Amino acid sequence: MVSLDDQIYIQRVLDGNTSSFTHLVEKYKDMVFTVCFRILRQREDAEDVAQQVFLKAFKNLHSFEGKSKFSTWLYTIAYRTAISGSQVKKPETISDELYTEKGPQQEFPQIEELTSAEQRVYVREAIAALPEIDGVLISLYYLDECNVQEIMEITGLNESNVKVRLHRARKQLKVTLEGLLKHEMKSIL
């Protein structure tokens, strides 16, 4: 289950070679930071918590049994640490009130003229407009290509909860990013 690459570095760290942990931090730091940021919404806080996540992971590396991917184990620590450090209540059930069917938040200027940096801003704002937990789910699903099972393991949500949240978040993103999506679809079709 654990990639051979990760397993080699994990074993080296367990054997006392602390500097091998650099490889694991380098590989996963952006995704861990993304998970933390989606919940905390403050760059400085998210970076502090992301550091704590890696420290926790290092200290508890012996308890990683390799039954799941290393990334899943690490993101679970990230999710729980960020949740415990935030005001976000761990979700039990989905509330419809969380979702407000919003139209496009702003008219996109000339889509064709948008630079990649501007597109990035729109996409990040659209994800930031989602409820915190859903932002995490969307990030795990699209950025790390986690499947529903892995997302369940990371977040502790049940299967239907994950599926419904993902569906609704996607729906909201499609509305918010309508202009950008149409432009992107033209290049796909």
Partner 1 sequence: MSDNMDKKAGMESPSKDFTAQLMQQIEAEERALSSLISNHGKLETSDAFLAGVMEQLEGKSVARPYRPVIPKAVWAGIAAVFTGLALFLSFSGQTGSDSSLDKRYDSVLESFNAFFAGSGFLHYILIPTTAVALILLLDLGFRKKRGMS
Q: Does 105 participate in binding partner 1 (rule CB under 8 A)? A: no
Backbone torsions φ then ψ of 136, nearest 5 degrees? -65, -45
Span of 7-15, 87-95, 149-157, 159-167 interacting with partner 1 by CB under 8 A: 7-15
Measured between alpha carbons, how far is 23 from 87 in angstroms, rounded to an integer?
A: 32
Q: Does 71 participate in binding partner 1 (rule CB under 8 A)? A: no
Q: Does 50 participate in binding partner 1 (rule CB under 8 A)? A: yes
Contacting partner 1 (CB under 8 A), which of 1, 5, 8, 58? 58
Helix ranges (DSSP H) in the chain: 4-14, 21-40, 43-59, 70-84, 116-128, 132-138, 148-155, 159-176, 178-188
The candidate with the shortest Cα–Cα distance to 58, out of 27, 13, 28, is 13
Span of 13-21, 73-81, 86-94, 154-162 interacting with partner 1 by CB under 8 A: 13-21
CB 6 within 8 A of CB 24: yes
Local structure of residue 97 (DSSP, 8 states): G
For helices 148-155 and 159-176, give the axis angle rounded to 10 degrees: 100
Contacts of partner 1 in 162-181 (CB under 8 A): 170, 173-174, 177, 180-181
Residue number, 89 or 187, with CB nearest to partner 1 = 187
- Which residues are near partner 1 by CB under 8 A? 13-16, 18-19, 21-22, 25-26, 29-31, 33-34, 37, 47, 50-51, 54-55, 58-63, 116, 119-120, 122-124, 127, 138-139, 142-143, 170, 173-174, 177, 180-181, 184-185, 188-189
